[in-house]
Amino acid sequence: MMIIKKILQRKSKGMNYLEEHNKKENRVAVRKEQRRNLIQTTYKLIRNVIVAGTLIGIGIYVFSIWYFREIPVKEYYEFDQRRIAEIVAELTRPLSYEEVAFQMESRYALLINLSNGRILFDHRADEQAFPASVTKIMTVLVGLENGELSDEVVVDADFDALFLSGAMQAGFIEGEVRSLSEILNAIMLASGAEASWALANHIAGSYDAFVDLMNDKAQTLGMNDTHFVTTTGLHDENHYTTANDIAILLTYALENPDFREIFTSRTYELEKPNSRGSTLESTLFAFAPETSFEGGRILGGRTGFTTPAGRCLASLATNDIDQFILITFGAPDPDFTNQIAHISDALIIYEYFLEVDEDDW
């Protein structure tokens, strides 16, 4: 009996082993079948996607041929060029006063990057304005282009008229002889009206003839909204310009090395003292000895003022990478209590635009 019982137990274990073995083989077979089905499904899906994409591409191609069948290729190209130009124009469009986060007192303003010609800021730059002594940029330029720095100039001016008008003078007296270099520096730095008058007589033979040279130069440069009546900028209703035109003038003038040196000088030593001493000082740096700002510094400029014109300034600045010019007109100062409004505006505008990269605007 014991033997029979052992035999039956071994038989039972054998059957259990066979059953487990068969179950395992069935599970393997099921997994293989599932894998085979997944591969087939993925293949069909990829094939269908490829076929569908091909059919869609053919459809788009056929539709485009039909839809654009009557438009010449040249017009496609011209449209693309116009669109590109529109996009570039929008990206490089100058900011207006309504778009900036600062306040200024000047009624007109224009900021240009001289390195690439890009206009960065434009506030009524094409509107007529009175330039006051910013006029003297043209006075000095015409003097440089029609004379030699070593020329001897006799100071010949209507001192009575200048005194009555309240024009600034550099300290020269009637009949004294000065070099053209001294005269030009007196005009640009000290805003010497008597020097402007003497220059006109020396270069053109008369005051009016010199003004004609100034207007001729303006027309040559394309300053179509400018008309000069005086060499000094003393107020006259027919003596006017725009910030755009002065920017044209200053851009051109700065290409002349002698002009640039005069324009960016803080002081100039006369060959011999005049009635006010031996040193001419820039009116810009006299009012603002410190002209640095966050991102750069002002290199030079020509200030101007009459009551109708307000405080005016044409200046040159740098951020040590590029150079910039800024023209501002019309900062009010009716009672002479706002004498640096034009300079304050310049520092505000320069700092706003130069402390960050242009691409970040």
CA distance 327 to 109: 5
Domain holding 20, by residue range, is 1-70
135 is a domain residue: yes
Q: Cα(first)–Cα(last) distance of the chain, in Å?
A: 103
Single-letter amino acid, residue 334:
P
pLDDT score, position 4: 45
75 is a domain residue: no
pLDDT score, position 3: 46
83 is a domain residue: no
Q: Residue length, the chain?
A: 361
User: For the domain that residue 152 is a member of, what is the CATH number?
Assistant: 3.40.710.10
Residues 117 and 36 in one domain: no
Residue closest to 96 by CA, chosen among 117, 118, 116, 125:
125
Residue 213: how many other CB atoms lie within 10 Å: 20
87 is a domain residue: no
Q: What are phi and psi of 260, to 5 degrees?
A: -60, -40
pLDDT score, position 6: 47
Q: Which residues of the chain have pLDDT under 50?
A: 3-4, 6-8, 10-11, 14, 17
Q: In sequence order, what E strands does the chain have?
A: 108-113, 119-123, 152-154, 177-179, 267-274, 277-281, 292-293, 296-306, 310-318, 323-331
CA distance 123 to 349: 12
CA distance 142 to 136: 10
Radius of gyration of the chain (CA): 40
Do residues 132 and 331 make contact, with C-beta atoms less than 8 angstroms apart?
A: no
313 is a domain residue: yes
Residue at a domain's end among 54, 70, 86: 70
3-class DSSP state of 151:
coil
Q: What b/e string do you get for 286-302 counting C-beta neighbours within 10 Å, with b at 16 or more?
A: eebeebebebbebbbbb
Question: Which structure tokens are listed for 47?
Answer: 């094939």
pLDDT score, position 32: 66
Structurally, how many domains does the chain consist of? 2
pTM: 0.75
Q: Is the dihedral of CA 303, 306, 307, 309 positive or negative?
A: negative
Q: What are phi and psi of 172, to 5 degrees?
A: -80, 160
85 is a domain residue: no
pLDDT score, position 85: 65
Residues 131 and 234 in one domain: yes
Residue closest to 287 by CA, chosen among 361, 353, 190, 207:
190
Residues 44 and 102 in one domain: no
